[in-house]
Amino acid sequence: MNDIAIQLNDVSKAFKYFALKNVDLTLPTGQIMGFVGANGAGKSTTIRIIMGLMQADQGKVNVLGRTLPYEQANLKQEVGYSSEEMRLYGAKNLGWHMQFIKSIYPSWDDNYAKALLNRFDLNTEQKIKQFSKGQHIKAQLLLVLARKPKLLVLDEPTTGLDPVARQEVMNELALILQDEQRTVLFSSHNTADVEKISDQITFIDRGRIIDSNDKETFLENWRRINIELPSDHEMLPMGHVIHVEQQGRIASMVSNQFTPSILQACQQQNIRVNSVDNMTLEEIFLTSVMHRRQGEQK
């Protein structure tokens, strides 16, 4: 068994107004990776390249041991792919779609499909055009999950859903992903969704991967340190501090590699530390993006 499910090396793809640049990405087998980026950051382009639907201008793409895009047909036998833009046939019902997918994938599991039908509260007789958006996404998930893929690639599955439907889909997805060990690549611009189900997190912005790590490392490494300075002079740069907001003597600094040595350095400069706070994934993502963009401007 291959230990690496997805491996992208130095992958680039240029369009007229956007370019994916030198993307390196590794997803070990059995892990769930949240792929986070703003709209237009390059998530869908990366996923299309991973699925073999789009050819990179340069770089190597290997998924489940297959070289892409050349082995895309064989690869897609083992991958469940669902995207936000994907639509089923409105004039047909879910049962028709299930039969169609079952005829293609020998790995289709009828019992699992029935269990998912109950869990998602879907009716096989109902036409797809009568489904709500949430039901439509659940139907898509059912069709990819019941074929028991080795790798699940979900491109923004919760985008456009109202908060209730999003919560429903995410809860069900979280439950399903606990069922078995699966390898999942899950893209979203919603950090709360990603934080809920991911082991690994990768941030992408303006076509570049800006950070990639496991969720615990992200949450442990990033801290917001609220401080009081001895004077209102501008604060001196400090190691591992990537962002500072200062108003007079009160300041807040963000570290992406927090260690107690930062607090010791504060003490040495007569800086009073008021609090050290954990950061949410959204705060981490936003700070990462802003830090990166400021670096590009300099």
Partner 1 sequence: MNINPAMISRLFIKDWQLIQRYMLMYIGLGALSIFLMSVKNGTAYYTGVVMLITVLIGASAHVVFVSIVIERKEHQMSFIMGLPINVTDYTLSKLLGGLVAYLLCWTPIVLTLLLVIGFSDMPNGMIPMALITALEILLATTLLLCVAIVFEQEAVTIVVMVALNLLFNLFLFSVGQMPEINMHITSDTPVFNATVFGIIGVELLSILLLLVATTYYKSRKACFF
Give residue 22's identity as a one-letter amino acid code: N
Under the binding rule (CB under 8 A), the answer on residue 264 touching partner 1 is no
Burial of 93-124, coded b for 16+ CB within 10 Å and e otherwise, reads: bbebbbeebbeebeebeeebbebbbeebebeb
Using the rule CB under 8 A, give the single segment among 20-28, 88-96, 108-116, 130-138 that binds partner 1: 88-96
Among positions 133-162, residues that touch partner 1 (CB under 8 A) are 140, 144
Angle at 28 (CA atoms; ends 67, 58), nearest 5 degrees: 35
Under the binding rule (CB under 8 A), the answer on residue 77 touching partner 1 is yes
Under the binding rule (CB under 8 A), the answer on residue 125 touching partner 1 is no
Give residue 82's identity as a one-letter amino acid code: S
CB closer to partner 1, 61 vs 271? 61
Among 34, 37, 42, 52, binds partner 1 (CB under 8 A): 52
Under the binding rule (CB under 8 A), the answer on residue 87 touching partner 1 is yes
Residue 95 beta carbon to partner 1: minimum distance, rounded to whole angstroms? 12
Under the binding rule (CB under 8 A), the answer on residue 174 touching partner 1 is no
Under the binding rule (CB under 8 A), the answer on residue 96 touching partner 1 is yes
Residue 100 beta carbon to partner 1: minimum distance, rounded to whole angstroms? 6
Helices (H), the chain: 43-50, 72-75, 94-104, 110-120, 133-145, 163-179, 191-197, 215-221, 260-268, 281-297
Under the binding rule (CB under 8 A), the answer on residue 100 touching partner 1 is yes
d(CA 52, CA 176): 26
Under the binding rule (CB under 8 A), the answer on residue 72 touching partner 1 is yes
Residue 81 beta carbon to partner 1: minimum distance, rounded to whole angstroms? 4
The side-by-side arrangement of strands in the sheet containing 66-67 is: 19-28, 4-14, 58-63, 66-67
Under the binding rule (CB under 8 A), the answer on residue 58 touching partner 1 is no
Under the binding rule (CB under 8 A), the answer on residue 267 touching partner 1 is no
Under the binding rule (CB under 8 A), the answer on residue 86 touching partner 1 is yes
180's CB contacts (< 8 A; 6+ apart) are none
Among 10, 70, 174, 239, binds partner 1 (CB under 8 A): 70
For 273, phi and psi rounded to 5 degrees? Answer: -90, 115
CB closer to partner 1, 88 vs 279? 88
Structure tokens, 177: 């992903």
Under the binding rule (CB under 8 A), the answer on residue 64 touching partner 1 is no
Cβ–Cβ under 8 Å, residues 202 and 222: no
Among 83, 190, 202, 256, binds partner 1 (CB under 8 A): 83
- The secondary structure of 147-170 as a DSSP string is T--SEEEEESTTTT--HHHHHHHH
Peptide bond just before 149 cis, omega within 30 deg: no
The residues of the shown chain that bind partner 1, judged by CB under 8 A, are 48, 51-55, 69-70, 72-77, 79-83, 85-92, 96, 100, 103-104, 140, 144
